[in-house]
């Protein structure tokens, strides 16, 4: 039997969690498992805490509640830079349900928003108050997330691209995000992240360092393209093989960096 | 374990007992007797169960039923006003936009959500609006055309 | 980086009404006391439209308005035997059974009317609007409704018909393969225009031009439904679908629609259709079922167009970006073949 | 989308003067669809509905050592656990209803499993969740066996046996061969005379029918000791017949309701849900629903099978294809279902819509350790057409010819003889090619643009059944013993020669006569003009303006391509050179003594024997224990 426990605050909900429980956010991940009789858990924990759905703005610093949906991101002017990533998730019905927190937990090849957040150096604030980098969170993926802390990117420095075989909406062959910060006309402190290229969304440090100090043009990014899949062993799945992902990653990285037209 | 849930279904107050962990699709179909939303996957990947909650489309197979307490739920079963069909229904009929008809109720709900918010959508907005609704028969084109036609008719009315 | 244009052609025929099982279909038609007709079958409507086509065939054959006919299917207590809705047999086999049942019911309808009008039944015709009159003398008429009422309450006559259509079983010869496999063939020829991205192997279908020969379009809109949806499925089969991406190995089989790929609503392809009608002898009004065949020419036409675009032989389905890319690599680059038919 | 109707074409064969036919009448079912009120099988409410889930094999191939469902049976909500022993007639093959093939597939596996996902137990419980939990609580002890997944690997001597009923991993045709043959003319001699040989191999992927409504059935007790079954079947009486047979109940007790189905595409013919749901209904006295979830639909439901086709063409410089040989493999998966039939359907389709004077094929229904495949839209044809039309482009390149011109040159026309030994009629391939070329500006030569399906057919060699070389290769078990290659004429078997015009039967492609005269519609009311209508047409009037656009083969080519007795090697004994009609289905090696060249039509006695033997088969089938009281047809293996 499956038990559902509803708590008024996220704190109480978090303390009710154990390895037999799953935290219900938008439902798109957990209810699928429930419908298919997943017996790795026998309790659903949820909260009616409205604070989870808040978007708080302090200058260029934003705090996005874990319960904020993709649809809410699309509706928020403050989060306009996340629109391409939020729009890449599901159809309208899924976007009305899928939450930021859930996207961090989504298994391969899902988690397109998390790819964007990785490239934005988002910080995860847990219900416990602990703060950790999204990269560290993705490595362990446990605990209940309260919110994400994001610094708004400047101008057009943030790029997101999802490669999918089905239009207008399909699962990722890969997704890519980059924050192309510059110093004195040269790239500096760049962040690049991939989705569907590893078991979780990942930062691609080899590419980031190859972009350090170069100009954003064909010649400048050559080394970065060569390093596009360094250290990665992309998975095989029904959408594409690891071989294919590895072969086309440099192409899509170039298109992302240089803003070339997607097909 | 069953618990009572009260919500508005197509404008009428509805109370129903739901099993712990039940999804909204099962509750609408078996608890409320509204058979218009269809089961196609239980995974949120086909859209046949799409209903509107608070006017917004949701895949009801992934909605924990008790979360709709106090909210308004709309289904294709309530789309027509008595015998008067909704412009979308008329456009689907005249545009031959259904074959087996199994995806149709979900398509209509996604389309209604679009037109309620955006009375004169572009073709690509229509494609985006039904991007979570699968159809295996029609190739989508007659459906897209019918939704655009319904928007036109509604604008003209 | 380059996008290459390709054009490909394929033509096919398709067996209508497979005949290797000796499969019959039956239909019953009867009238209500006010001259409305019910057609009872055990056909299955999977979306192909047998309820609608059956209704049109019955109404045309009876000579009554289509609104006065309804098809009831499928209930094994009321609908007589039918093998099923598969192998492009529905329209052909059941259509013929319906015509026979409706013909018998029409004969009784005309006999009942003849008795009321005191004329010979062979002198009567229907006007398709619910009336029966003497050929060449529209003023000597009686409505179908009045005829049915008279038949059932005064004459003690049923207005009903039975139909069975059986193409006898064809044996297959063990040594030569000699057989009589089908009743007729539908035809199609199709030209695909597409592009191939030589960096990613991605194929995008741009345009479909087709000619489908369907015997007779019994309902043109139903035919178009099938041809549009079928061409979509052809694109899907050619480029997307497989339950076993690593066939014959069984790994990575998809279990949901996110991983079982099909073109989405943003992948629709402009499609110009030409419908040809060479009525098939022995088919209902000459109509051949268009539903099954219409995807078939799309698969090879796409493969042929991919070859035309980049010189890669795609002989294994589906034609994934990976297969195209591997082919381009193996050839040392894209090898466009030039526009055919120019 | 836009559609044009080429009413100008074939206008002389057609009247379009109708009230309702040809009109865009609104669908009868559409109002139900747009209001959500159409009743699909799951749209029926029952009090106390029980749900069914199956315990399934996690292995490709394994022996079942033991099954322990005791813990599952004690779990809350579980009403009944059913196994193979609970099914009165557990083993079935779908086409037993037309007397084709041997029963080879258990409804619920008992001794071994042959594919991942094969059902072993069916758990009936008060909720889906309770059934799922009980499924998890069943313990099955397996001994894994070696498995084979590739069709050609499966035919090799060392391959594991997938299906004990067919221990050579291939379906038995006519109790004689491990494949279906097509032999028409003499491909080997023609290959030796061809200017080009073009070869290719083509592979179809397994494809899910993917109806949005998943397969299923609800069985509920009715009054009068009957069961009502609401079903998604595509074949109502197939499902009735299978259920009556497997449950060993009279069909009088079965009331099946369906007909409004959420897409099928061939995947709803298999009739597995109805017997299981009805069995559970009988066992519990309650309404029971067995509905696949999407994961089952995708991986347990029978897909379109993977097919592999090899084609070898002999082509002349001018583009005429003079010989075509096929080797085809249908991947049936672990059990036959409909694949045996698809092999014959595809054989009847060869060599595509082209007239080729020499054709041979060997097509195999092969068992592998995967989900049994089944029908799908275009069953038996889609993959062949893919292969043929890919191949036609390769032929066009080999001879440097425009691809459409090549098709028109080789296209079949009214009066041509098809490889399955029937005259082509009602052809329209050429006109279809011309129509699409015309509107896209694809330039055709004047000859090709003027060609017509109605003229130039049946001329010379293309109008007759040629003298035909036969063989007796590929007898059941031979390949497994010797590793014989699968291609036609690949071994050293005995060759035979059938005379020009040889036909073994004369079955009609046309329907039975109406039972009573007043069931026969007047031809004029059906819209046929002149010769176009029922019954079978003679050749239509010749269109004087149409060019034949077909280089007529010189009579020398037409009649001496395969001279009798001129084949390489020693000439064959007379007994092997003639094959009278009555030997159909008899082993080729033992032909009865028969005057050579007796046309089939002159052998009424043989024809009578045929129909008598068919009757015998039918009766024997009906009387077989476990066979349904009614049967859907009659045919031989």
pLDDT digits (tens, 9 = 90+) for B49-66: 999 999 999 999 999 999
pLDDT digits (tens, 9 = 90+) for D12-30: 999 999 999 999 999 999 9
Which of D124, D113, D14, D114 is closest to D69 using CA atoms? D124
Query: Are B21 and A96 a contacting pair at CB < 8 A?
Result: no
A2 near D CB under 8 A: yes
Cα C261 off chain centre by: 25
Which of B150, B154, B147 is closest to B130 using CA atoms? B147
What CA–CA distance (Å, rounded) separates D124 from D75?
Answer: 11
Contact D493, D472 (CB under 8 A): yes
C3 near A CB under 8 A: yes
The DSSP call for residue A163 is: E
**Least Cα separation, residue B69 to chain D (angstroms):** 23
Query: Are D535 and C281 a contacting pair at CB < 8 A?
Result: yes
Q: What's the average model confidence in pLDDT over C71-99?
A: 94
pLDDT digits (tens, 9 = 90+) for C164-189: 999 888 889 999 999 998 889 999 99
Domain boundaries of chain D, sorted by first residue: 50-145+209-299, 151-207+303-498
Q: What's the average model confidence in pLDDT over D149-165?
A: 97
Residues of A in contact with B66 (CB under 8 A): 4, 6
Sheet arrangement for strand C184-197: C3-16, C184-197, C203-213, C271-276, D2-5
What is the domain extent for residue A172? 158-258
Which of A233, A258, A135, A147 is closest to A191 using CA atoms? A135
CA distances to C213, C286, D319, D452 from D14, rounded to whole Å, are: 13, 9, 34, 17
Domain count within chain A: 3
Cβ burial of A239 (10 Å; 0-12, 13-18, 19+) is buried
Q: What are phi and psi of A84, to 5 degrees?
A: -60, -35
Q: Which of A237, A240, A263 sits opposite C322 (nearest CB)?
A: A240
Identify the pLDDT of residue D620: 32
A184 near D CB under 8 A: no
Identify the pLDDT of residue D609: 39
What CA–CA distance (Å, rounded) separates D193 from D502?
Answer: 24
- Which chains lie within 8 Å of chain D at 3 or more CB pairs, if any? A, B, C
B108 near D CB under 8 A: yes
Query: Are C174 and D150 a contacting pair at CB < 8 A?
Result: no
Q: How confident is residue C87, by pLDDT bands cut at 50, 70 and 90?
A: confident
**A7, A69, A93: best mutation site toward chain B, by most B Cβ within 10 Å?**
A93
Identify the pLDDT of residue D532: 59
Answer yes or no: is pLDDT of D537 > 60: no
- Give the CATH number, domain containing residue A210: 3.30.390.50
Answer yes or no: is pLDDT of D614 > 80: no
Looking at this predicted complex, what is its ipTM? 0.97
Among A9-23, B51-65, D312-326, D622-636, the least confident range: D622-636
Q: What are phi and psi of B56, to 5 degrees?
A: -110, 140
Which of D366, D358, D464, D488 is closest to D415 using CA atoms? D464
Which of D60, D191, D76 is closest to D125 using CA atoms? D76
Q: Which of residues 138-157 of C touch D (CB under 8 A)?
A: none
Residues of B in contact with D30 (CB under 8 A): 92-93, 96, 98, 101
Which of D619, D182, D98 is closest to C20 using CA atoms? D98
What CA–CA distance (Å, rounded) separates C286 from C44?
Answer: 22
Helix axes A242-258, C321-330, angle to 10 degrees: 90
In a domain, A180, yes or no: yes
Q: What pTM, to 2 d.p., does this model score?
A: 0.93
**Least Cα separation, residue B127 to chain C (angstroms):** 5
Residues of D in contact with A39 (CB under 8 A): 132-133, 136
Mean pLDDT for chain D overall: 87
Q: What's the average model confidence in pLDDT over C264-278?
A: 98
Identify the pLDDT of residue A262: 55
Q: How confident is residue D568, by pLDDT bands cut at 50, 70 and 90?
A: very low
Strands C271-276 and D2-5: parallel
Q: What's the average model confidence in pLDDT over A93-112?
A: 97
Query: Are B128 and A92 a contacting pair at CB < 8 A?
Result: yes
Identify the pLDDT of residue D3: 96
Answer yes or no: is pLDDT of D220 > 90: yes
Q: How confident is residue D612, by pLDDT bands cut at 50, 70 and 90?
A: very low
B37 near D CB under 8 A: yes
What CA–CA distance (Å, rounded) separates D372 from D165?
Answer: 15
What CA–CA distance (Å, rounded) separates D34 from D118?
Answer: 37
Burial A17-30 (b: 16+ CB within 10 A, else e): beeebbbbbbbbbb
B96 near C CB under 8 A: yes
B126 near C CB under 8 A: yes
User: For the domain D50-145+209-299, what is the CATH code?
Assistant: 3.90.1170.50
Answer yes or no: is pLDDT of D571 > 60: no
C297 near D CB under 8 A: yes
Identify the pLDDT of residue C131: 97
What CA–CA distance (Å, rounded) separates D387 from D366?
Answer: 19
Residue with tokens 């049936």: D332
Contact D137, D52 (CB under 8 A): no
**Least Cα separation, residue B133 to chain A (angstroms):** 8
Tokens of C172: 């297959």
Residues of B in contact with D259 (CB under 8 A): none
Q: How confident is residue B156, by pLDDT bands cut at 50, 70 and 90?
A: confident
Residues of C in contact with A244 (CB under 8 A): 201, 320-322, 325
Among D31-40, D449-458, D506-515, the least confident range: D506-515
- Give the CATH number, domain containing residue A114: 3.30.465.10
Express as a percent the part of chain D with pLDDT over 70: 83
Residues of A in contact with D293 (CB under 8 A): 35-36
Answer yes or no: is pLDDT of C96 > 60: yes
Domain boundaries of chain B, sorted by first residue: 2-78, 87-156
D511 near C CB under 8 A: yes
- Count Cβ atoms below 10 Å from residue D127 Cβ, excluding itself: 18
Identify the pLDDT of residue A14: 97
**A34, A37, A41, A166: best mutation site toward chain D, by most D Cβ within 10 Å?**
A37
Residues of B in contact with C229 (CB under 8 A): 99, 137-139
Query: Are D259 and C75 a contacting pair at CB < 8 A?
Result: yes
CATH class of segment(s) B87-156: mainly alpha
What CA–CA distance (Å, rounded) separates B58 from B13?
Answer: 20
For residue D351, is the peptide bond before it cis, meaning its omega torsion is within 30 degrees of 0? yes
Bridge partners of C125, per DSSP, are C133
**B5, B21, B51: best mutation site toward chain A, by most A Cβ within 10 Å?**
B21
Answer yes or no: is pLDDT of D155 > 80: yes
Tokens of D572: 């064959």
**Least Cα separation, residue B114 to chain A (angstroms):** 9
Q: From D132, which residue of chain A is nearest by alpha-carbon distance?
A: A37
B138 near C CB under 8 A: yes
**Least Cα separation, residue C48 to chain B (angstroms):** 6
Tokens of D607: 């024809």
**Domain over B2-78 is classified CATH 3.40.50.720:** no
Strands B50-53 and B12-19: unpaired
Spell out the residues 6+ positions from residue D556 whose beta carbon is closer than 8 angstroms to its own. none
Contact D247, C92 (CB under 8 A): no
Identify the pLDDT of residue C210: 98
Q: From D263, which residue of chain B is nearest by alpha-carbon distance?
A: B100
Query: Are A91 and B133 a contacting pair at CB < 8 A?
Result: yes
Per-residue three-class SS string for B13-53: EEEEEEECCCEHHHHHHHHCCCCCCCCCCCCCCCCCCEEEE
What CA–CA distance (Å, rounded) separates D276 from D288?
Answer: 9
Residues of C in contact with D636 (CB under 8 A): 171
B101 near D CB under 8 A: yes
- Domain covering D151-207+303-498: architecture: 2-Layer Sandwich (3.30)
Domain boundaries of chain C, sorted by first residue: 3-16+185-330, 24-166
Query: Are C240 and A165 a contacting pair at CB < 8 A?
Result: yes
What CA–CA distance (Å, rounded) separates D105 from D91?
Answer: 5
Helices assigned H by DSSP within D43-172: 70-74, 128-137, 151-154
Q: How confident is residue C73, by pLDDT bands cut at 50, 70 and 90?
A: very high
> Does residue A176 sit in the same domain as residue A193?
yes
A41 near C CB under 8 A: no
CA distances to D567, D576, D600 from D590, rounded to whole Å, are: 22, 9, 19
> Does residue A94 sit in the same domain as residue A127?
yes
What CA–CA distance (Å, rounded) separates A97 from D7?
Answer: 52
Contact A24, A46 (CB under 8 A): yes
Is pLDDT larger for residue C106 or for residue D631? Answer: C106
Q: Which of D98, D347, D468 sits opposite C21 (nearest CB)?
A: D98
Identify the pLDDT of residue D541: 36
CATH class of segment(s) C3-16+185-330: alpha beta
Q: Which of C56, C254, C279 sits opposite D14 (nearest CB)?
A: C279
Identify the pLDDT of residue D615: 35
Tokens of D309: 């086709």
Identify the pLDDT of residue D319: 98
pLDDT digits (tens, 9 = 90+) for C124-166: 999 999 999 999 999 999 999 999 999 999 999 999 999 999 9
- Domain covering C24-166: architecture: 2-Layer Sandwich (3.30)
What CA–CA distance (Å, rounded) separates D374 from D270?
Answer: 7
Q: Which of D31, D35, D40 sits opposite B102 (nearest CB)?
A: D40
Sheet arrangement for strand D321-333: D180-184, D359-367, D321-333, D307-315, D196-203
Residues of D in contact with A1 (CB under 8 A): 76, 129
What CA–CA distance (Å, rounded) separates C184 from C284?
Answer: 12
What CA–CA distance (Å, rounded) separates D178 from B6?
Answer: 65
Q: What's the average model confidence in pLDDT over D200-208?
A: 97
What CA–CA distance (Å, rounded) separates D233 from D271?
Answer: 7
Q: How confident is residue D493, by pLDDT bands cut at 50, 70 and 90?
A: confident
In a domain, A263, yes or no: no
Sheet arrangement for strand A61-65: A55-58, A61-65, A145-151, A123-126, A131-133
Q: What's the average model confidence in pLDDT over A55-62?
A: 94
The DSSP call for residue D299 is: H
Q: What's the average model confidence in pLDDT over C292-297?
A: 96
What CA–CA distance (Å, rounded) separates D246 from D242?
Answer: 6
Cβ burial of D568 (10 Å; 0-12, 13-18, 19+) is exposed
**What is the count of residue pairs from A and B with beta carbons less than 8 Å apart?**
92
What CA–CA distance (Å, rounded) separates C78 from C97?
Answer: 16
What CA–CA distance (Å, rounded) separates D271 from A64?
Answer: 52
Euclidean distance between the first and the last CA atom of chain A, given in angstroms as a whole number: 48
Mean pLDDT for chain A overall: 96
Q: How confident is residue D567, by pLDDT bands cut at 50, 70 and 90?
A: very low
Answer yes or no: is pLDDT of D574 > 90: no
Q: From D49, which residue of chain B is nearest by alpha-carbon distance?
A: B30
Residues of B in contact with D49 (CB under 8 A): 30
Contact D562, D185 (CB under 8 A): yes
Q: Which of B64, B110, B124 sits opposite A92 (nearest CB)?
A: B110
Query: Are B20 and A36 a contacting pair at CB < 8 A?
Result: no
Q: Which of D1, D38, D49 sits opposite B101 (nearest CB)?
A: D38
Helix axes C298-310, D382-399, angle to 10 degrees: 40
Query: Are B43 and C231 a contacting pair at CB < 8 A?
Result: no
Residue with tokens 């296209």: D411
| SS3 state at C67 | helix
Q: What are phi and psi of C10, to 5 degrees?
A: -155, 150
B100 near C CB under 8 A: yes
Query: Are A247 and C325 a contacting pair at CB < 8 A?
Result: yes
Helices assigned H by DSSP within D226-338: 236-247, 273-284, 294-299
Q: What's the average model confidence in pLDDT over C285-298?
A: 95
In a domain, A226, yes or no: yes
């Amino acid at each position: 039997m499956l038990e559902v426990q509803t708590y008024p605050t996220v704190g109480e909900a978090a303390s009710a969690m154990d390895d037999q429980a799953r935290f219900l956010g938008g439902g798109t991940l957990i209810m699928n498992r429930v419908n298919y009789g997943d017996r790795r858990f026998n309790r659903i924990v949820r909260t009616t805490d409205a604070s989870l759905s808040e978007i708080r703005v302090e200058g260029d610093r934003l705090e996005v509640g874990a319960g904020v949906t993709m649809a809410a991101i699309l509706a928020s002017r403050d989060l306009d830079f996340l629109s391409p990533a939020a729009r890449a998730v599901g159809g309208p019905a899924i976007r009305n349900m899928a939450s930021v927190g859930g996207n961090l937990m989504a298994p391969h090849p899902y988690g397109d928003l998390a790819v964007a957040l990785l490239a934005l150096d988002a910080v995860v604030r847990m219900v416990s108050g602990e703060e950790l980098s999204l990269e560290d969170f993705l490595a362990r993926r446990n605990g209940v997330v309260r919110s994400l802390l994001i610094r708004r990117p400047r101008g057009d420095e943030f790029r997101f691209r999802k490669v999918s075989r089905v239009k207008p909406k399909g699962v990722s062959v890969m997704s890519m995000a980059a924050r192309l910060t510059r110093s004195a006309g040269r790239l500096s402190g760049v962040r690049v992240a991939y989705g569907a290229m590893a078991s979780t969304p990942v930062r691609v440090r080899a590419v980031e360092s190859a972009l350090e100090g170069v100009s954003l043009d064909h010649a400048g990014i050559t080394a970065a393209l060569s390093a596009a899949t360094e250290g990665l062993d992309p998975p095989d799945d029904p959408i594409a093989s690891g071989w294919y992902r590895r072969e086309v990653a440099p192409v899509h990285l170039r298109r992302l960096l240089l803003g070339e037209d997607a097909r | 374990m069953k618990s009572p849930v009260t919500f508005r279904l197509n404008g009428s107050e509805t109370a129903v007992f739901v099993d712990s962990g039940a999804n909204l699709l099962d509750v609408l179909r078996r608890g409320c007797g509204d058979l218009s939303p269809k089961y196609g996957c239980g995974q949120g990947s086909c859209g046949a169960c799409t209903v509107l909650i608070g006017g917004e489309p949701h895949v009801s197979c992934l909605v924990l039923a008790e979360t709709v307490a106090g909210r308004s739920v709309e289904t294709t079963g309530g789309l027509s006003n008595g015998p008067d069909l909704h412009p979308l229904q008329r456009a689907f009929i005249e545009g031959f936009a259904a074959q087996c008809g199994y995806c149709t109720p979900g398509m209509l709900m996604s389309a209604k959500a679009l037109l309620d918010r955006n009375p004169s959508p572009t073709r690509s907005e229509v494609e985006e609006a039904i991007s979570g609704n699968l159809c295996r028969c029609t190739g989508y084109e007659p459906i897209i055309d019918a939704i655009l036609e319904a928007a036109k008719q509604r604008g003209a009315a | 980086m380059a996008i290459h244009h390709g054009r490909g052609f394929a033509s096919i025929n398709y067996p209508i009404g497979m005949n290797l099982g000796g499969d019959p279909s039956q239909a019953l038609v009867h009238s209500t006391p006010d001259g409305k007709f019910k057609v009872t079958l055990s056909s299955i409507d999977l979306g192909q439209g047998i309820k609608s086509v059956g209704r049109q065939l019955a109404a045309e054959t009876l000579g009554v308005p289509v609104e006065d006919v309804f098809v009831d299917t499928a209930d094994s207590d009321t609908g007589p035997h039918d093998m099923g809705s598969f192998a492009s047999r529905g329209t052909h086999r059941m259509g013929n059974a319906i015509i026979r049942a409706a013909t018998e019911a029409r004969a009784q309808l005309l006999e009942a009317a003849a008795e009321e009008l005191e004329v010979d039944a062979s002198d009567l015709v229907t006007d398709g609007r619910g009336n029966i009159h003497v050929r060449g003398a529209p003023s000597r008429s009686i409505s179908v409704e009045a005829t049915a009422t008279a038949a059932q309450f005064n004459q003690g006559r049923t207005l009903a018909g039975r139909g069975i259509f059986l193409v006898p079983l064809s044996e297959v010869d063990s040594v030569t393969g000699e057989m009589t496999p089908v009743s007729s063939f539908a035809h199609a020829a199709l030209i695909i225009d597409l592009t191939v991205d030589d960096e990613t192997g991605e194929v995008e279908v741009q345009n479909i031009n087709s000619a489908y020969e369907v015997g007779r379009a019994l309902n043109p809109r139903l035919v178009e439904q099938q041809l549009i949806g079928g061409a979509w499925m052809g694109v899907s089969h050619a480029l997307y679908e497989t339950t076993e991406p690593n066939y014959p190995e069984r790994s990575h089989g998809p279990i949901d629609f996110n991983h079982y790929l099909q073109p989405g609503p943003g992948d629709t392809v402009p499609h110009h259709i030409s419908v040809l009608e060479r009525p098939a002898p022995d088919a209902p009004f000459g109509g051949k079922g268009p539903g099954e065949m219409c995807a078939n020419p799309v698969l090879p036409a796409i493969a042929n167009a991919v070859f035309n675009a980049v010189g890669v032989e795609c002989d294994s389905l589906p034609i994934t970006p990976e297969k195209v890319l591997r082919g381009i690599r193996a050839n040392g680059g894209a090898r466009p073949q030039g526009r055919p038919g120019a | 989308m836009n559609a044009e109707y080429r009413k100008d074409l074939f206008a002389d064969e057609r009247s379009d003067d109708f009230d309702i036919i040809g009109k865009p009448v609104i669908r009868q079912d559409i109002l139900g669809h747009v209001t959500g009120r159409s009743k699909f099988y799951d749209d029926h409410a029952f009090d106390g509905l029980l749900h069914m889930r199956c315990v399934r094999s996690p292995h490709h191939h394994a022996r079942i050592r033991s099954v322990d469902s005791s813990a599952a049976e004690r779990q809350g909500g579980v009403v009944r656990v059913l196994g193979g022993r609970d099914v009165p007639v557990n083993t079935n093959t779908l086409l037993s209803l037309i007397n084709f093939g041997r029963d080879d597939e258990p409804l619920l596996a008992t001794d071994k499993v042959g594919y991942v996902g094969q059902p072993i137990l069916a758990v009936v419980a008060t909720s889906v969740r309770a059934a799922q939990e009980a499924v998890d609580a069943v313990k099955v002890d397996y001994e894994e066996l070696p498995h084979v997944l590739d069709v050609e690997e499966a035919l090799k001597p060392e391959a594991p046996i997938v299906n004990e009923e067919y221990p050579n991993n291939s379906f038995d045709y006519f109790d004689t061969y491990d494949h279906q043959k097509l032999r028409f003319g003499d491909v080997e001699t023609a290959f030796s005379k061809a200017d080009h040989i073009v070869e290719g191999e083509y592979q179809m992927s397994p494809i899910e029918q993917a109806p949005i409504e998943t397969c299923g059935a609800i069985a509920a007790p009715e009054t009068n000791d009957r069961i009502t079954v609401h079903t998604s079947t595509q074949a109502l009486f197939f499902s009735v017949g299978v259920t009556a047979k497997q449950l060993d109940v009279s069909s009088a007790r079965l009331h099946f309701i369906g007909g409004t189905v959420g897409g099928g595409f061939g995947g709803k013919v298999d009739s597995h849900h109805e017997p299981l749901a009805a069995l559970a209904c009988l066992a519990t006295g309650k309404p029971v629903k067995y509905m696949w979830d999407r994961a089952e639909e995708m991986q347990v439901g029978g897909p379109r099978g993977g097919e592999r086709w090899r084609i070898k063409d002999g082509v002349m410089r001018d583009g005429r294809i003079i010989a075509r040989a096929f080797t085809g493999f249908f991947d049936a998966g672990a059990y036959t279902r409909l694949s045996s039939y698809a092999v014959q359907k595809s054989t009847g389709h060869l060599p595509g819509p082209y007239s080729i004077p020499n054709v041979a094929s060997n097509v195999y229904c092969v068992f592998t350790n995967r989900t049994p495949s089944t029908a799908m839209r275009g069953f038996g044809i889609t993959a062949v057409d893919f292969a043929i039309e890919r191949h036609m482009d390769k032929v066009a390149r080999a001879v440097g010819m425009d691809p459409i011109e090549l098709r028109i040159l080789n296209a079949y026309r009214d009066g041509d003889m098809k490889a399955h030994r029937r005259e082509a009629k009602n052809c329209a391939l050429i006109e279809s090619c011309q129509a699409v070329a015309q509107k896209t500006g694809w330039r055709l030569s004047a000859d090709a643009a003027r060609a017509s399906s109605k003229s130039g057919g049946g001329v010379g060699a293309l109008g007759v059944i040629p003298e035909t070389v036969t063989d007796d290769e590929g007898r059941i078990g031979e390949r497994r013993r010797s590793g014989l290659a699968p291609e036609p004429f690949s071994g050293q078997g005995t060759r035979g020669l059938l005379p020009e015009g040889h036909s073994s039967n004369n079955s009609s492609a046309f329907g039975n006569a109406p039972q009573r005269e007043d069931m026969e519609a007047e031809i004029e009311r059906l819209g046929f003009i002149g010769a176009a209508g029922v019954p079978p047409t003679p050749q239509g009037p010749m269109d004087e303006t149409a060019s034949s656009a077909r280089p007529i083969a010189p009579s020398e080519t037409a009649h001496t391509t395969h001279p009798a007795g001129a084949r390489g090697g020693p000439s064959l004994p007379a007994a092997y050179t003639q094959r009278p009609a009555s030997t159909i289905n008899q082993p080729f090696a033992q032909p009865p003594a028969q005057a050579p060249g007796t046309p089939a039509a002159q052998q009424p006695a043989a024809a009578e024997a045929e129909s008598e033997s068919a009757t015998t088969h039918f009766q024997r089938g009906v009387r077989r224990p476990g066979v349904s009281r009614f049967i859907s047809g009659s045919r031989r293996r």
